[in-house]
C-alpha cells in the first residue's frame, strides 16, 4: 500500500546523514553555506513527516503503510532493514520531524563554537530519531536509538553548560545500563518466539501461533520494563535526566527530552505490551507504583527548583509518570492516551527548553528568584513561555493537546484502578504550583534589587530567528489540540488490532491481505 511513497521514509533518514557528511569539511569548503546545508538537513525530514501524516490511510487496521525492505545480507540473523509506519509510530515520526526542524533552526542561528561540528552531530542525532520510529525490525529500532544517543553524550560533554562533564558521564552510565537491559529483553523475545526474524510483524505472527510461557513473559517483560524505564527516567532511575538537561545545549535538550526519551515508552507500547500480555499483568502494579514516584515525589522536587532549566528537567521527568501509568493499564485507551500525551509533551518541552535558553541570553541567569518584571521588556517571550507552561500543566484552554492526553490517561486509570486517580489529580495541583509560580516570578513579579540593573539595560525581545522555531512547535501543538482525531483515529485502529489476543490480531490482518 502507498508503494509510490515508500521511498520517502529512507530519504527522511538519509538526508540528515548526507548533510552531516557535507559538514565534515565544514567552513573550509562551504563557508557561509554551512548553516544553509544544516537547515536543509532538518527541513527535508520534517516536510516528509508532515506529508506522510497527510497521506496516511492504511487499509488494514494495525498494518504498516509506506513499507520498504532492504536486504543487507543479514537474513541469516533474521535482520532486514524494514521501514514503515503504523498508527502508533506515525505520530512519533511526525514529532521527530517537527521538533528536529525547530531544534535545527534554533541551532543554526546560535553562535556555538565549531558550529559545523555541532550541527553535524545534531544532524546525525536527527537521522537516528527518524529511523527509530520508522523501523519495523526491532534490531534497527534499537540500532537507530543508539545512533541518536551517542551524539547526545558528545554534545553535552563539549558544548554543555556547568557540570557538563559530570552530567555527560552520569547520562552515559544510566542510559548504557538501560540500553543493555533493553537489548537483552529484545534478544530474549526474538529467541523465545522462534520467529527466525526480528521483524515485528513476524514476531507477532510467531507468538500468536505459539504463545510464550508465562514465566518467559514475566522475566522478558521485566527486562524491557526496567531497561526502557531507565531510558525514559522512570523513578527512581531518573536522576540523570534533570542534570543532563540542565547541562545540555538547548537544541540537544529539545531533541532528547522532546523526542528521544519517548523511545522507551514507544518500545513498551509497540513491542512489549502487545507481545507479552501475561508479563504486563505480572508487573502492572509495580509499574504503577513506580510511576507514582514520578508524579508525586519528582513533582514535589520540581516545586523546590530555583533554576528554570532544572525545573523544566524535573517537570519532564514528572510527566513521564502519567505516561507510565497509562502503559500500566495495558489497554487500548491507556496506550492511545500515552501516544497522544507523548506527542503533546514532546512539542511542549522542546518549546520551553528553547525559550529558557532565550531567556538566559537576555537575563544572563537561569535563577528564577533573581528575575522579575521581564514582561515589560520581552512581551513576546513572555507570551510564548506562558503558552508553553499552560500547555505543560494542561490548563483547559482550547487548542492545547496536553489536556486531551492527560484527560484520557485519567479515563484509562478509572477502568484500571480508580484509586490511582487521586494521586494523579494531585499531580495536576503540583504542576500548576511550579508552572504558574515560574511565570509569575520571571515575568510578572517585582524585579529583585540584583536584577533591576539588568532591566535598565537595552533588552531585545525574541528575534525572528528564535520566533520561527517556537511558532512551528506552537502551531503543530494547537493543530493537534484542535483536531486530535488527526492522530487518534490511526492510533486507535492500530492498537485495537495489536491489543487483541495475539491470534485474533494476526487473523484480522490476514483476512485483509
Residue-wise pLDDT for 413-432, tens only, equals 988 889 999 999 999 999 99
pLDDT tens per residue, range 143-159: 999 999 999 988 888 88
Q: Looking at residue 454, what is its pLDDT?
A: 72
Give the integer Cα–Cα distance in Å for 422 and 427.
9
Percent of the chain with pLDDT over 70: 92
Q: How far is CA 395 from the centre of its chain?
A: 21
Q: What are the helix (H) ranges across 364-420?
A: 379-392, 401-416
Give the integer Cα–Cα distance in Å for 172 and 371.
33
Angle at 406 between CA 436 and CA 92, to 5 degrees: 105
Q: Looking at residue 507, what is its pLDDT?
A: 40
SS3 24: coil
CA-to-CA separations, 467 to 147, 151, 366, in angstroms, rounded: 29, 26, 20
Mean pLDDT of 381-409: 84
CA-to-CA separations, 482 to 117, 349, 386, 400, 479, in angstroms, rounded: 39, 19, 19, 7, 5
Phi/psi-derived region of residue 500, left when phi > 0, alpha when psi is between -120 and 50, beta in every other case:
beta
Percent of the chain with pLDDT over 90: 43
Give the integer Cα–Cα distance in Å for 301 and 303.
5
User: What secondary structure does DSSP assign to 222-242, as a single string?
Assistant: HHHHHHHHHHHT-TTS-THHH
Among 54-63, 89-98, 356-365, 471-480, whose mean pLDDT is lowest? 54-63
Kindly report the number of other CB atoms within 10 A of residue 306's CB atom: 12
pLDDT tops 70 at residue 30? no
Q: Looking at residue 511, what is its pLDDT?
A: 43
Number of domains forming the structure of the chain:
1
Q: Looking at residue 229, what is its pLDDT?
A: 93
Domain of residue 244 covers 3-512
Mean pLDDT of 85-112: 91
What is the greatest pairwise CA distance in the chain?
72
Give the residue from 224, 57, 218 showing the smallest Cα distance to 138: 224
To the question of pTM greater than 0.75 for the whole model, the response is yes
Amino acid at each position: 500500500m502507498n508503494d509510490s511513497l515508500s521511498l520517502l521514509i529512507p530519504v527522511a533518514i538519509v538526508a540528515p546523514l548526507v548533510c552531516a557528511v557535507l559538514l565534515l569539511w565544514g567552513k573550509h569548503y562551504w563557508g557561509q553555506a554551512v548553516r544553509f546545508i544544516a537547515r536543509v538537513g532538518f527541513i527535508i525530514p520534517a516536510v516528509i513527516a508532515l506529508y506522510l501524516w497527510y497521506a496516511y490511510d492504511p487499509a488494514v487496521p494495525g498494518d504498516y503503510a509506506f513499507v520498504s525492505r532492504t536486504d543487507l545480507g543479514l537474513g541469516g540473523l533474521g535482520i532486514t532493514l524494514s521501514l514503515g509506519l503504523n498508527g502508533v509510530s506515525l505520530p512519533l515520526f511526525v514529532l521527530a520531524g517537527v521538533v528536529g526542524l525547530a531544534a535545527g533552526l534554533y541551532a543554526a542561528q546560535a553562535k556555538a563554537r565549531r558550529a559545523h561540528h555541532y550541527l553535524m552531530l545534531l544532524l546525525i542525532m536527527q537521522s537516528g530519531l527518524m529511523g527509530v520510529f520508522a523501523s519495523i525490525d526491532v534490531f534497527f529500532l534499537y540500532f537507530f536509538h543508539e545512533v541518536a544517543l551517542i551524539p547526545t553524550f558528545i554534545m553535552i560533554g563539549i558544548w554543555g553548560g556547568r557540570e557538563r562533564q559530570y552530567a555527560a558521564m552520569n547520562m552515559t552510565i544510566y542510559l548504557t545500563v538501560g540500553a543493555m537491559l533493553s537489548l537483552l529483553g529484545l534478544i530474549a523475545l526474538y529467541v523465545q518466539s522462534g520467529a527466525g526474524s526480528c521483524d515485528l510483524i513476524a514476531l507477532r505472527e510467531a507468538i500468536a501461533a505459539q504463545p510464550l510461557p508465562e514465566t518467559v513473559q514475566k522475566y522478558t517483560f521485566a527486562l524491557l520494563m526496567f531497561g526502557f524505564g531507565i531510558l525514559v527516567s522512570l523513578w527512581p532511575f531518573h536522576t540523570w535526566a534533570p542534570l543532563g538537561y540542565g547541562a545540555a545545549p538547548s537544541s540537544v535538550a529539545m531533541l532528547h527530552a522532546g523526542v528521544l526519551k519517548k523511545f522507551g515508552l514507544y518500545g513498551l507500547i509497540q513491542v512489549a505490551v502487545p507481545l507479552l500480555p501475561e508479563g504486563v499483568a505480572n508487573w502492572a502494579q509495580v509499574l504503577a507504583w513506580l510511576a507514582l514516584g514520578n508524579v508525586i515525589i519528582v513533582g514535589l522536587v520540581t516545586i523546590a527548583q530555583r533554576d528554570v532549566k532544572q525545573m523544566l528537567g524535573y517537570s519532564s521527568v514528572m510527566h513521564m509518570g502519567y505516561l507510565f501509568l497509562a502503559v500500566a493499564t495495558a489497554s487500548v485507551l491507556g496506550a492511545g492516551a500515552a501516544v497522544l500525551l507523548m506527542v503533546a509533551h514532546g512539542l511542549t518541552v522542546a518549546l520551553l527548553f528553547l525559550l529558557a535558553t532565550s531567556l538566559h541570553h537576555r537575563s544572563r541567569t537561569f535563577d528564577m528568584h533573581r528575575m522579575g518584571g521581564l514582561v515589560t521588556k520581552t512581551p513576546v517571550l513572555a507570551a510564548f513561555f506562558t503558552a508553553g507552561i499552560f500547555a505543560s500543566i494542561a490548563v483547559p484552554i482550547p487548542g492545547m493537546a496536553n489536556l486531551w492526553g492527560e484527560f484520557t490517561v485519567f479515563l484509562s486509570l478509572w477502568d484500571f484502578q480508580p484509586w490511582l486517580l487521586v494521586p494523579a489529580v494531585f499531580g495536576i495541583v503540583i504542576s500548576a504550583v511550579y508552572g504558574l509560580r515560574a511565570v509569575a516570578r520571571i515575568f510578572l513579579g517585582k524585579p529583585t534589587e540584583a536584577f533591576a540593573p539588568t532591566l535598565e539595560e537595552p533588552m531585545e525581545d525574541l528575534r525572528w530567528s528564535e520566533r520561527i522555531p517556537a511558532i512551528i512547535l506552537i502551531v503543530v501543538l494547537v493543530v493537534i489540540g484542535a483536531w486530535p482525531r488527526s492522530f487518534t483515529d490511526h492510533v486507535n485502529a492500530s492498537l485495537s488490532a495489536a491489543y487483541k489476543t495475539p491470534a485474533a490480531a494476526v487473523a484480522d490482518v490476514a483476512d485483509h491481505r
